[in-house]
Amino acid sequence: MLDQAPWRVLLWDLRDERSAEVPFPPGETRVSLPRTRRFAEEPLPMLLESYERFGPVFTLRLFHSNVVFMLGPEANHYVLVSHASNFAWREGHFRDLIGLMGDGLLTIDGDFHRRSRRIMLPAFHRDHIAASVNVIEEETERALSAFTTGARLDLYTWTRALAMRVAMRALFGVDPDGREARAIDAAALFEEALAFYASEYMLRVLRGPRSPWGRMQAAARKLDTMIYAEIRRRREGGERGSDILSLLLDAQDEDGNRLSDTQIRDEVMTLLFAGHDTTTSTVSFMFYELARNPQIAARLAAEQDALCDGGAPSAAQLLGAELPELEMVLDETLRKYPPAWVGPRRALESFEFAGHTVPARAFVNYCSWASHHLPDVFEDPEEFRPERFTPEARAAMPKGAYVPFGGGSRTCIGMRFGQLEVRTIASMILARCSLSIAGDFELKIRQMPTISPKDGLPVIVGERPVRRRPPVSAAA
């Protein structure tokens, strides 16, 4: 278990930095609280400015330590694929997540990560993901009862509740309306726990019961009560279903190794976090952009009219990504707003990149959010252009240009499930109504540690555009 004593960790970080045998890349390396605060509030413009000044690799001193950032296609490929073995996730700047999620796939490295991933991969086979379509459709249909013409609602809050219900059923196999699930508001607990990353840097080193860390731990304990109780019930009764938890209980690698209760708890906690938080943000950002670009929303409606007779797509269409307009809108949403916006790492050995050295033990971050906004890679990056992801345009992209789900051996294991969930929710909304942004709403983004709308997404439900039926042929 990683040492969580904050002052000792800070001292070790400073020791590692002082013992560096090669210089850090150029950048802003003097202590600056304003810089640290600005990074916490608006990292994207800060990173893009540094890229313009210093190039694809640069150093920023944030809080107590130097942090090396590597941006752009080549940098992403270097960190995620070609030299991935030289970077450890566990000692990067999201190491405090271990206090919430334990030793799940997100927080482990090396042989342990490879072994755990091999055991879990069968649970994310296409057939198992396909079995989740009905659950997603049922829960979305239930939630859409709130979408009456003229209704005003917060789409972010609505999607968060929906995505957690889907995660509870499809991933955990628990009835969200059951007594134990009702007693624990899992979505609110995750929100409370991850607020740790929205707190001031100085407050994050505190460990009292009322500190951000203490509140995260309290939320984790409440979630543990539910998770361990369900693991115990399944072990004792032998009950299994098509959910991921059932598959994890029986999963084993080629040597017969199985997951312990603690490992299963850690993986369930990780999947519940990833399985609801990323979907919630992606759906919200997608409909924010569609409201601002009604011509694109009209193309999606026309596609559903043509391929789905105006209704929601079939399970086969959703699984096969057979609605090309919707797929390009999803890809462009993930370009502008990749939920896992930054990939914190720590270098195991010193290395050279783009003509600069980086010392061993340095904090090294790649950032998909910034890389996806580089104008020399994506023209007019602030514009929402789904046509960037036509098959031809996508094939022409440089390797490493588009990394919303990471890459290499750490590509998000739940990527296909997440894409399926977003497709299903989005297409069912589009089949029922149109959404516009309420009032003079101004989008602000927070990072905790995934990006999301800071003030939610207030929308007004409108009528769906009139369905256009294909013309009847003369022969008919």
**32-52, pLDDT tens digit by residue?**
999 999 998 999 999 999 999
Identify the domain containing residue 306 by its residue range. Answer: 6-463
Q: What pTM does this model have?
A: 0.92
Angle at the Cα of 282 (from 279 to 284), degrees rounded to 5? 105
The answer to whether the beta carbons of residues 384 and 377 sit under 8 Å apart is no
Which SS3 state, helix, strand or coil, does residue 70 take? Answer: strand
The Cα–Cα gap between 248 and 259 comes to 7
What per-residue confidence (pLDDT) applies to 1?
Answer: 45
Tell how strand 57-62 and strand 27-28 pair up.
Answer: parallel
The owner of tokens 């917060």 is 154
Q: Is 52 exposed, middle or buried (0-12, 13-18, 19+ CB in 10 A)?
A: exposed
| CATH code assigned at 109 | 1.10.630.10
Q: Is 1 contained in some domain?
A: no
96 in a domain, yes or no? Answer: yes
- pLDDT digit string, tens, across residues 146-173: 999 999 999 999 999 999 999 888 888 8
d(CA 79, CA 58): 15
The phi, psi pair for 239, rounded to 5°, reads -70, 135
User: For residue 326, what are its two tokens?
Assistant: 């919707």
Rounded average pLDDT per 10-residue block, the chain, 476 residues: 67 87 95 92 96 98 94 98 96 88 92 88 84 92 96 96 91 82 80 85 84 92 91 90 86 82 92 84 98 96 90 88 96 97 96 97 97 97 98 96 95 92 96 92 91 95 75 44
User: 53-85 in b/e burial notation, b at 16+ Cβ within 10 A?
Assistant: ebbbbbbbbbbebbbbbbbbbbbbbbbbbeebe
Number of domains within the chain: 1
Digit-coded pLDDT (tens) for 96-133: 889 899 999 999 999 999 988 888 888 888 888 888 89
Sign of CA dihedral 201, 206, 211, 215: positive
What SS3 string covers 110-154? HHHHHHHHHHHHHHHCHHHHHCCHHHHHHHHHHHHHHCCCCCEEE
Contacts of 97 (CB under 8 A, 6+ apart): 106, 107, 449
Whole-angstrom distance, CA of residue 208 vs CA of residue 197: 16
Distances (CA, A) of 75 to 62, 78, 355, 415, 464: 21, 5, 12, 22, 43
| Residue 406, pLDDT score | 94
Strands (E) located in 187-269: none
In sequence order, the 6+-apart residues with CB closer than 8 A to the CB of 30 are 61
Q: Determine the Cα–Cα distance for residues 68 and 61; give it in Å rounded to an integer.
A: 9
> CA 285 to CA 12: how far, in whole Å?
39
Q: Is residue 468 in a domain?
A: no
Classify residue 129: in a domain, yes or no: yes
Residues 6+ apart with CB under 8 A from 324: 303
Given this model, what pLDDT does residue 468 score? 58
Among 164, 165, 173, smallest CA distance to 230 is for 173
Q: Are 411 and 120 in contact (CB under 8 A)?
A: no
Nearest to 129 by CA among 165, 163, 171, 176: 171
Q: Is residue 469 part of a domain?
A: no
In a domain, 473, yes or no: no
Residue showing tokens 């500190």:
211
Residue 177 has a pLDDT of 86
What per-residue string of b and e applies to 125-163 under the rule 16 or more CB within 10 Å gives b? eeebbbebbebbbebbeebbeebeeeeebbbbbbbbbbb
Any domain includes 115: yes
Amino acid present at 166? V
Q: 220 with 99: CB under 8 angstroms?
A: yes
Q: Is position 474 within any domain?
A: no
215 phi/psi in degrees, rounded to 5? -70, -35
